[in-house]
A and B are shown apart, each in its own frame.
Chain A
Amino acid sequence: MLRLLAKSVRQYKKETLLSSLFVAMEVVMEVLIPFFMARLIDRGISAGDMNYILRLGSMLLLFALTSLTFGALSGYFASTASNGFAANLRRDIFAAIQSFAFPNIDRFSSASLVTRLTTDINNLTMAYQAIIRQAVRSVSMAAFSLAMALRTNARVALVFAGVAPLLGFGLIFIAIKAHPFFRRALKTYDKLNNVVQENLQGVRVVKAYAREAEEEQKFGHISAEVYRRFSAGQKRVAFNMPLIQLSTYACILLISWLGAGRIAAGGMSTGELMSMFAYTMQILMNLMMLSIVFVQIIIARSSAQRAAEVLREQPSLRSPAHPLTQVRDGSVEFREVDFSYVNDESKLCLAGANLAIAAGETIGILGGTGSSKTSLVQLIPRLYDVTRGAVLVGGADVRNYDIEALRGAVAMVLQKNVLFSGTIAENLRWGNPEATDAQLREACRLAQADEFIMGFPEGYNTHIEEGGTNVSGGQRQRLCIARALLKRPKILILDDSTSAVDTKTDALIRQAFREVIPGTTKLIIAQRVTSVMDADRIVVMDGGRIHAVGTHEQLLQSNGIYREIYQTQVQGGGDFDE
């Protein structure tokens, strides 16, 4: 996992190393200061040598300045390295998502992908920087200080050998004990946010049923749980400070006692004793810093797992090695097609589908909710692969095409369609980046969108908000159809794409299709009978099977389901549309 993530360091290896190097050099300078301080006191102050004090004093000031420079340089490089690493990793994950096929996308919720690209990357960046700078600093600081303490007086320094490991283990023990509480607390926190989110989305339901008190109770309950779990974690962390103080004080007292003995025996000077105190602080403080880094690493571990999960995910659909790049025509054929979203033959949502569609034909598809209308058509642009059987486009199996070439020839307007923030023209050019303004207008005229677009003060330059919320549902659908038309596809699939368009406009769109793009194969999924009535043939889907295929007249005569739909809709009236 770590090796996988480390790949994203790439061009920032140099900065990473420099950052660690400079921080180590900073540490050397910082540790040397107490060492020479001992001399300043013993040879300067105790001996009354003013010159020595001044000389050594200014030298030590220079040390401090150098140390500052090294520290700042380390900070500079650490920032470049960690932000560079973050940018690379973010790009790697985003690029991995872009390579995902539909089945991959289904496996991850979009919210979880967003979290991976934001929160998880943040955690990882912080951990990365903590490791290359703080951890290096703390480890080398503790090590150098210990070395200097040993050099100053090995016998007295043995105190550290006893206290430091105890403190280190203690701090790590606390961190390990506290971490599960925080993890659970954060999960509960997510639950709490979920309640808030639901209450925001369902504020009208809550108010309509006057359930404010119950919702408060629900919230209060989880809020109390958050309180308990965070408190439990924090209470364990509350041992940190006392433990550090205890160790520091113990060291000071032990060093005083042992040091006094050594001084009495003539084996140590007062200045050296003072340096020992300074080393005590440095060693123990850095152990504490190290335990903070340790916690950060624990937190980042689950982020690293989530990030690696995306990086490891293999796109489930790929273009073949020697792909076909030309789609001959718009004919489509389903041969004994079984399909399951989970690739499990016992959970088929489409079974035994056989259907041949000639180029230029218009096919209507009708059926109840869950009858697999969408599943059927999604196989044509190879959004999913069949579980058994084959789907042929232009006479060749879709799996033999270059995916981009196939999807260029098959335009599908998805049921859950999305416009992106940007101008209308920018959105339309998704279909064809080179489209001229005249081509845009032509496509929009076909989709009956030109009129309302020109009605906007800024016409085709009207800005679309994220998700297309500033145009009506029917307008959004027509823009999506126009966008698909700009591909000049050989096959056009509309998956319930005119549900919010009024019946009359819907009819105009179909009329335009008939007159202007007669050569394009058109598959139209609809809820309304009137949307498919005039198709060349109509496919009736029921329970994951093709139930019947025929013209309107044939089906009306021979097919019970079709007749029922027709009667409830047309004879019982239809829609009032806007």
Chain B
Amino acid sequence: MNKNGVIRRLLAVMTGKYKAELLLVLLFILVSTFANVAGSFFIQRLIDTDIPLALQTGSFSGLLRVIAVMAAVYLAGVVCTFLYNRMMVSVSQGVQKTIRDNLFQHMQRLPIRYFDIHTHGDIMSRFTNDNDTLREFFSMSLPQLISSLATILTVTVVMLLLSPVLTLIVFVFMLATLAASRRLSVTAAKLFRQQQAAVGDLNGYIREMIQGQKVIKVFCHEQETLAGFDEKNAALQTFGEKANQRTNMLMPIVMNIGGAQYVATAALGGLLALHGLGGVTLGLIAAFLTLSRTFSAPIGQISAQVNAVTMALAGAGRIFGLMDEPPEADEGYVTLVNARLVDGHLTETAERTGLWAWKHPHSDGSVTYTELRGDVCFDDVDFGYSEEKLALRNVSLYARPGQKIAFVGATGAGKTTITNLINRFYDIADGKIRYDGININKIKKADLRRSLGIVLQDTHLFTGTIADNIRYGRLGATDEEVRAAAKTANADGFIRRLPEGYDTMLSSDGGSLSGGQRQLIAIARAAVANPPVMILDEATSSIDTRTEAIVQRGMDALMEGRTVFVIAHRLSTVKNADVILVLEQGRIIERGSHSDLIAAHGKYWQLYTGKLG
């Protein structure tokens, strides 16, 4: 996205909700600037008229009146300054919140594929780095830019009104300032990029080494690690120092060119006044000098903000870039509803009955209901994570309600891929998948996924209590139901032994629990959802075999009466499946029960006997 596009969108977000506020802010800024500038006129009048007059007449009442008027103007200015500063807080914080919330909402709606291609760190930095630069921009740069621009504009007008000749001098110096700061910022920008690269390099090294700190200790590799650190640290120091030197010079240059301009204006103004040229008077010089101060300060401020603004625009560009990613498409219209049998017919009902039905509206306006039973059928399915390479080829399979289907095969054979297609994390390239006879493309994704319980290979727990985490499976579950689910998964025992039991807070992905305990909670989470179809992807891989034997009993209870897809590399988990599918390079090469496959003396038999041999 180009710069103008980004600015336009930022403006659109701002004016979208805060049009009235922004107009008021603009008005207040104008009043506040006017008050500031009026001060210069006041000084001119004071010196040219009022003080000499007071000296002549000996009466200070005129002077007092002028000061009183000025005080009123100043007061109005102060009030307006306060008001616009206060209003900008709401606007800038509100805009940031809007952007943040939209960003998150949009991220939630992106397809899994997006998260495959982009690293977490990459997406995270939209929320951290890019958002931070926007925060800086909105709370620091923007208010300063607005008031600086307003000041420059008004002051220019007034200076022109006072004396075009002296204004010319001010402009010459301003151009010199701009040229100097531009030159500086061009070299600084290059150095900054190098500095950023050095920062990234060093921080990456620090993160990697700190995470591997224990390995470093075991190998007594501290000196080597320090040597590597020193090298990167020195690089950062060099670039940081150089870039920083440039930015440090900016202020003295701007300030002192301002000082020079002050002197030049006074001297030239004085010469003009002496020769009576250009209507320059002593009071006018005085007024002009304060004005020119008011003029050079915002120029300095703007040049100091250039970097921040560039960075903020780049950040906003990246944020908008993510918001422009196409969200997960969902053209499904079949929904999942609670049902009840009335005279042998399925009818929709509001309360939870344990009986579910697919509500299928047809184009002629009629609605049919199909019972949710857990019948899954793949018909000649092809699928690839990328266009060039198919991960699955000609996969056909069917699972009758209540059957247990096991997938066996090497890493990358396509086991997890198949389960990812059932819940439509990905869409298939060719073929059909039917769920209770309905093409899954017609089912609303949220409803489809609600009907499936999934325990994933990588367990993930959220910050919150253990009960919260189990209840994630079904938000309305009572404490008893949570407890019962944990019992099914054999998690109840260890949970109750924790000091806070079910109210134990988990943070950083349940880091305080062992891998096995985390998996048990994930299983309980699926159990509380109580879905007709379960997908267990290496659900028990981190549980030691003794515990697993206990979990297995719970799992058997969990699988009872459901359609289950299970991926496991432990034979005990696979053996009693109704159908075992052996996958190799995206194809089903063998299928059948354990005894069938053993008798067939194929790949399964090899895997089975090879390990015991």
Contacts and interface: CB of A to CB of B under 8 A. Distances in A.
Given A87-B236, A235-B89, A260-B51, A412 B572 contact: no
Contacts of B224: 433
B8 interface: no
A102 B208 contact: no
Given A231-B93, A273-B47, A64 B256 contact: yes
Closest 5 CB pairs of A and B: A71-B252, A75-B248, A573-B571, A57-B267, A202-B460
Given A210-B445, A270-B282, A281-B293, A94 B248 contact: no
Nearest to B89: A234
Interface in B228-255: 229-230, 233-234, 236-237, 240-242, 244-245, 247-249, 251-253, 255
B266 A37 contact: yes
B2 to A, nearest CB: 27
A249 B38 CA distance: 11
A420 B226 contact: no
Interface in A252-286: 252-253, 256-257, 260-261, 263-264, 270, 273-274, 277-278, 281
A101 to B, nearest CB: 7
B237 A68 contact: no
A518 interface: no
A412 B218 contact: yes
Contacts of A53: 267, 270-271, 274
B117 interface: no
Contacts of A105: 213-214, 217
Interface in B51-77: 51, 54-55, 58, 60, 63-64, 67, 70-71, 74-75, 77
Nearest to A231: B93
A421 interface: yes
Contacts of A176: none
B406 to A, nearest CB: 10
Given A102-B217, A209-B454, A270-B47, 4 more contacts: A60-B267, A75-B247, A253-B67, A257-B67
B123 interface: yes
A249 B271 CA distance: 30
A383 B218 contact: yes
Given A203-B115, A234-B139, A253 B71 contact: yes
Contacts, number: 420
A100 interface: yes
Contacts of B225: 98
Contact of B450 (A40, A209, A226): A209
A75 B254 CA distance: 13
Contact of A403 (B70, B211, B220, B569): B220
Interface stretch (B389-397, B480-488, B603-611): B603-611
Contact of A57 (B85, B109, B266): B266
B85 A80 contact: no
B329 to A, nearest CB: 14
Nearest to B263: A60
Interface in A400-442: 403-404, 407-408, 411-412, 414, 416-418, 420-421, 430-431, 433
A26 interface: yes
A418 B218 CA distance: 12
Contacts of A260: 46, 50-51, 54, 60, 63
Contacts of B456: 204-205, 208
Given A210-B450, A575-B571, A431 B262 contact: no
A78 interface: yes
Interface residues of B, number: 156
- Residue with the highest number of chain B CB atoms closer than 10 Å, among A33, A249, A257: A249
B288 to A, nearest CB: 11
A226 B78 CA distance: 29
Interface in A29-60: 30, 33, 37, 40-41, 44-46, 48, 50, 53-54, 56-57, 60
A553 interface: no
B249 A76 contact: yes
Given A118-B206, A223-B97, A30 B259 contact: yes
B611 A577 contact: yes
A575 B267 contact: no
A264 B100 contact: no
Interface in B257-303: 257, 259-260, 262-264, 266-267, 269-271, 273-274, 282, 285-286, 289-290, 293
B120 interface: yes
Contacts of B293: 278, 281
B259 A220 contact: no
Nearest to A228: B93
B216 interface: yes
Given A68-B257, A200-B115, A418-B212, A249 B77 contact: yes
A197 B124 contact: yes
Interface string A212-235: 101110011001101100110011
Contact of B285 (A41, A110, A565): A41
Nearest to B241: A83
B197 interface: no
Contact of A79 (B214, B241, B263): B241
A29 to B, nearest CB: 8
A253 B81 CA distance: 18
A245 B544 contact: no
Contacts of B446: 210, 212
A381 interface: yes
A223 B39 CA distance: 43
A196 interface: yes
B574 interface: yes
Contacts of B222: 98-99
B94 A369 contact: no
Contacts of A40: 263, 266-267, 270
Contact of B207 (A114, A203, A205, A256): A114
B386 interface: no
B86 A235 contact: yes
Contacts of B516: 369
A41 B112 contact: no
- Residue with the highest number of chain A CB atoms closer than 10 Å, among B219, B224, B293, B549: B219
A161 B182 CA distance: 40
A200 B475 contact: no
A539 B304 CA distance: 68
B206 A94 contact: yes
Contacts of B574: 576
Contacts of A242: 78-79, 81-82, 85
A246 interface: yes
Given A249-B77, A467-B208, A37 B262 contact: yes
A39 B52 CA distance: 19
A46 B273 CA distance: 9
B212 A37 contact: no
A299 interface: no
Given A79-B244, A256-B67, A260-B54, A102 B214 contact: yes
Contact of B221 (A67, A71, A430): A430
A515 interface: no
A226 B139 CA distance: 14
A368 B547 contact: yes
- Residue with the highest number of chain A CB atoms closer than 10 Å, among B74, B88, B293: B74
Nearest to A75: B248
A563 B124 CA distance: 49
Given A78-B248, A260-B51, A33 B90 contact: no
Contacts of B47: 270, 273
A110 B289 contact: no
A70 B249 CA distance: 10
B305 to A, nearest CB: 14
A45 B54 CA distance: 22
Contacts of B259: 30, 33, 63-64, 67
A97 interface: yes
B595 interface: no
A207 B67 contact: no
A83 to B, nearest CB: 4
A414 B450 contact: no
Contact of B203 (A80, A118, A273, A368): A118
